[in-house]
Structure 1
Amino acid sequence: MIKAFLNSFQILTPAEIEQFEKLLTIRHLKKGSFFISEGKYSKEVAFINSGILRSFFTPESGEEITYCITFPKALMAAYSALITGMPTMENIQVVADVELLIIQKHDIDRLQETSHNWVHFFKIIAEQQYLELEKRLFLFQKEKAKKRYIDLLENQPNYIQQIPLQFLASYLGITPRHLSRLRREIHL
């Protein structure tokens, strides 16, 4: 799966992809465990082979706010902490058991020193992360919860049922009760 993901960018040579694969370690995490917790330093990037992760923060109110749900065939990290070297302000938690392929930040830095292709690849990854964040922000501000839920259903139909109601509701910016009503209305 990782080889197909890397090949899809049409940037890296077969030798560079093989070099990348040799740097990966496999990590299995169970539902409810954490990939990273608030206050920790982010020193690795994960490719999600299987399972689901959610990113959330806890404001002073104490109510967790889920702002990102990440599905298989995607990269995941506490990106701002990875870039700045500061402790993360977010938590990344396992929603459904995951198999992750992990690469360390120092290995990413070394790869970028070996070839311009890696610099180009990681630039595209950073741009994609920005675009996803912007899309989410615009969707959240512009569209109603029903539309956001339908978009999620259309894009991730195989995984949506694995996300607990309270996490999904938080991600959509609504209460679990409102989400239950939306589900009944859509699935009639």
Structure 2
Amino acid sequence: MKEIYDYFKQLTDISEKDWLLFYSKLQHVEFPKKAIILEQGKTEKHLSFIEKGMIRFFKPRLDQDFTFAFAFEKSFVSAYDSFLTQQPSTYNIEAMTDCVLWRITYDDLHAIYENTTVGDRIGRKVAEDIYLKKMKREIALLDDTAKKRYLDLMKEQPKLIQYIPLKYLASYIGIRPQSLSRIRRQIT
């Protein structure tokens, strides 16, 4: 819980009263490695904070899943588009390791927005952070070579390279595993 409080304190000052209200709405949930946290076709009902673990977002495909995002400890995770619209998700969210999450429901989060002085501000800053990361990734997929995307990934997110299977990394940067193997051989 301290990690969530520290995360909020980085964004803005949060009063003890507001923190206690937010804290009272959190639910502790654990998922084993490979568990599907949210299945395609189901509606996202939670915004979660990862205390422990790694998560991947993917579109299931017959030939090969398409991994398009990862989330790590000390960050928020959600099928955010489904969460905001309360419509079914078009992708899966999977625990890549054993995960410990702290979750708040859609309704409870909106009550926080209504009943605290900083809820809206924190929500906006979290949404802005998600948006900026998403735009940076989309531009890289359009502009950069696969090799550059992999090198940038090594520099910016070494956890990905260290802990995530190559088939997921390849999918994430938009190439086949064989192409990623060639790139890795070229740079070592």
TM-score past 0.5 threshold: yes
Counterpart of 1:18, as a letter, is L
| Aligned position for 2:14 | 12
> Relative to structure 1, is the Cα distance of residues 23 and 117 closer, same or farther in structure 2, using a 3 angstrom cutoff?
same
Q: CA deviation at 1:11?
A: 4.0
Counterpart of 1:117, as a letter, is V
Do 2:26 and 2:104's aligned partners in 1 also have CA atoms closer than 8 Å? yes
Q: CA deviation at 1:62?
A: 4.9
| Of 65-74 and 159-168, the range deviating more from structure 2 | 159-168
Counterpart of 2:25, as a letter, is L
| Aligned position for 1:148 | 149
1:118 and 2:112 matched: no
Do 2:55 and 2:71's aligned partners in 1 also have CA atoms closer than 8 Å? yes
1:177 and 2:178 matched: yes
- 1:8 aligned counterpart, secondary structure: helix
Q: Deviations over 1:122-179 (max 9, x none)?
A: 1222222221111110011111122222222222224432211111110010111111
- 1:100 aligned counterpart, secondary structure: strand
Q: How far apart, in 2, do the equivalents of 1:97 and 1:179 lie?
A: 27
| Of 117-126 and 135-144, the range deviating more from structure 2 | 117-126
Q: How far apart, in 2, do the equivalents of 1:161 and 1:31 lie?
A: 17
Q: CA deviation at 1:19?
A: 2.2
Do 1:96 and 1:162's aligned partners in 2 also have CA atoms closer than 8 Å? no
TM-score (norm 2): 0.91
TM-score (norm 1): 0.91
| Of 158-167 and 136-145, the range deviating more from structure 2 | 158-167
Q: How far apart, in 2, do the equivalents of 1:180 and 1:31 lie?
A: 25
Counterpart of 1:3, as a letter, is Y
> Relative to structure 1, is the Cα distance of residues 26 and 83 closer, same or farther in structure 2, using a 3 angstrom cutoff?
same
> Relative to structure 1, is the Cα distance of residues 99 and 178 closer, same or farther in structure 2, using a 3 angstrom cutoff?
same
Q: How far apart, in 1, do the equivalents of 2:135 and 2:114 lie?
A: 30
Do 1:48 and 1:72's aligned partners in 2 also have CA atoms closer than 8 Å? yes
Superposition RMSD in Å:
1.6
Q: How far apart, in 1, do the equivalents of 2:18 and 2:143 lie?
A: 41
Over the matched positions of the two proteins, sequence identity in percent amounts to 32
| Aligned position for 1:64 | 65
- 1:89 aligned counterpart, secondary structure: coil
Q: Deviations over 1:33-79 (max 9, x none)?
A: 111010111110111112111111135x6532111111111111111
| Aligned position for 2:84 | 83
Point out where structure 1 has 5 or more consecutive residues left out of the alignment: none
Q: How far apart, in 1, do the equivalents of 2:72 and 2:169 lie?
A: 13
Do 2:153 and 2:160's aligned partners in 1 also have CA atoms closer than 8 Å? no
Q: CA deviation at 1:110?
A: 0.5
